[in-house]
Structure 1
Amino acid sequence: MKNKIVAIIGLAVLGCNYASAQERMKPGMSEFYSPVPPVVTPGEEMRGGGFTAPSDAIILFDGKDLSAWENSKGGPAEWKVKDGVITVDKSKGDIRTKEKFGSFQLHLEWRVPKTIQGEGQARGNSGVFLQGMYEVQILDNYNNSTYVNGQAGSIYKQTAPLANAMRKPGEWNVYDIIYTAPVFKEDGSYRVRPQVTIIQNGVVLQNNTTILGTTEYIGFPKVVKHGEGPILLQSHGDPSEPISFRNIWIRKM
């Protein structure tokens, strides 16, 4: 009983000391002024909708050419560029950025043709691969059903999106992707798994989602140790009409 009384008195004293310390605090004691965040000028509204890239972004496609891109073998990227838009050329395969990235914020806009045909996965199928390893699905899911971990905004064959935010065929969709690169142990296993937040057309589809490993078409995720990697756009080769991209930029984090 005596020990309990001593403990209670001790807690009361600590509480009084804490309250007293709080009373002696001044507002400035919990304020800090450095390091000062860098100034980043936001993009400006473009004619036809959307915004230009912020001032510290790396422009991956400015509507003119594919100089920032190459094919999957390291040769020239040969997708079609016309009127400020890239259109997938299925005969030329995937394209990827020449530069490699770790953690980043990625912005890209994509559109399926107004005359799109097909159903399920054979309807405007493409994808954006983060570090060349992990696919965020691109697909026309406007009135088009498929397996949910394969619809637009899914981490392919892993995590279904929280919503279906598709616009009608012929209208532009916007992806804003915030990606945190993985950290590996010496034995090649994850120390910290990759994580991603995906916003489509202002709607959160993935909220700090953990990526389990590679995004396999057949089978389950694999852990493959890697370093920085490119942004890769997929030429899926399905029979539907090819999709288009515009206004692609990235900010390193």
Structure 2
Amino acid sequence: MKNLFLFGSLLLSFACIQQVVAQQQAIKLPPEATEFWEPVPRKVTPGKENHLPPSDATILFDGTSLDRFESVRDGAPAAWKVENGTFTVVPRTGDIQTKESFGDVQLHLEWSAPDVIKGEGQGRGNSGVFLMSTYEIQILDSYESQTYSNGQAASVYKQYPPLVNAMRTPQEWNTYDIFFTAPRFNTDGMLVSPARVTVIHNGVLVQNNVELKGPTEYIGIPNYKAHPEALPIKLQDHGDLVSFRNIWVRKL
């Protein structure tokens, strides 16, 4: 009797499934049923070339002045040297940061290691760009210079090595296109979602939407600490004559 009951239940379930499938097959939606017209994406005019800022970008360096930057140390005007459409680290003057704060961004910057090669590893053309003053994408002359993999150019410093080494020679300019999603914290300061970053180095994908483990730490394990939703973008004075040009950012 029990077996007959089970068999009957299976037959009934099978019949119900067939009925549902038949009903789904009978529904024929027109193409318009899966179209939506709102919201309409806002118009953004791209730059004449892909490395040039689009119409909604904030230009952080236009080749003439560092008016959008300040000293991290004391808020004084940025002391790095501007010349011929570029600016260069002046060693021992300290890091500089944007006067404006940012959270989720698309960031474009171009940088060049010193033409005269000096040092090796971390002592060769070293700087860094810190998203939200906290999360570092390494800048380093890694063209033909060995160092730890998660500390070479385009690494998420001390967290993720780049997928490949896409460096150009020290006599050439490098390009970073960075897509950053800021971390979220709740009102109690607990992490809700971690930061994520994608990095394209000289047109090559080197960080593919990786999840950051926390703030950049030179020593020790990173652990998230609650911070504001927007913070400045920082450039590092590591004592090397690294140069920059064509820096712009889009808020996402």
1:188: Cα distance to partner? 2.3
Letter in 1 for 2:47: G
Alignment partner of 1:56 is 2:56: yes
1:186: Cα distance to partner? 3.2
Letter in 2 for 1:242: L
1:142: Cα distance to partner? 0.5
Alignment of 1:64-79 (within 5 A): 64-72=64-72, 73-79=74-80
**Which structure: larger Rg?**
2
Match of 1:35 in 2: 39
**CA deviation map 1:154-196 (0-9, x unaligned):** 1111111111000001101000000001111333231100000
Letter in 2 for 1:36: V
Q: Give the SS at the match of 2:43.
A: coil
Normalising by structure 1, we get a TM-score of 0.94
Match of 2:238 in 1: 236
Alignment of 1:67-146 (within 5 A): 67-72=67-72, 73-146=74-147
Question: Percent identity over the alignment?
Answer: 52
Question: Is 2:51–2:108's contact at 8 Å kept on the other side of the alignment?
Answer: no
Match of 1:249 in 2: 248
Match of 1:8 in 2: 14
1:219: Cα distance to partner? 0.9
Quote the Cα distance in structure 2 between the aligned partners of 1:186 and 1:41.
Answer: 38
More moved, 162-171 vs 216-225: 216-225
Quote the Cα distance in structure 1 between the aligned partners of 2:120 and 2:45.
Answer: 42
Question: Is 2:129–2:233's contact at 8 Å kept on the other side of the alignment?
Answer: yes
Letter in 2 for 1:135: E
Letter in 2 for 1:204: L
Alignment of 1:9-24 (within 5 A): 9-21=15-27, 24=28
Match of 1:193 in 2: 194
Quote the Cα distance in structure 1 between the aligned partners of 2:43 and 2:144.
Answer: 42
1:222: Cα distance to partner? 2.2
How well do the aligned residues superpose, as a CA RMSD in angstroms? 1.0
Task: Give unmatched runs, 5+ long, in structure 2.
Answer: 1-6
**CA deviation map 1:190-249 (0-9, x unaligned):** 110000000001111110100111111111102111111111000012xxx411000000
Q: Give the SS at the match of 2:14.
A: helix
Match of 1:157 in 2: 158
Task: Give unmatched runs, 5+ long, in structure 1.
Answer: none
Quote the Cα distance in structure 2 between the aligned partners of 1:189 and 1:94.
Answer: 29
Match of 2:3 in 1: none
Letter in 2 for 1:245: F
Quote the Cα distance in structure 2 between the aligned partners of 1:156 and 1:54.
Answer: 29
Letter in 1 for 2:208: N
Letter in 2 for 1:184: F
Quote the Cα distance in structure 2 between the aligned partners of 1:100 and 1:51.
Answer: 22
Residue correspondences, number? 244
Normalising by structure 2, we get a TM-score of 0.94
Letter in 1 for 2:200: I
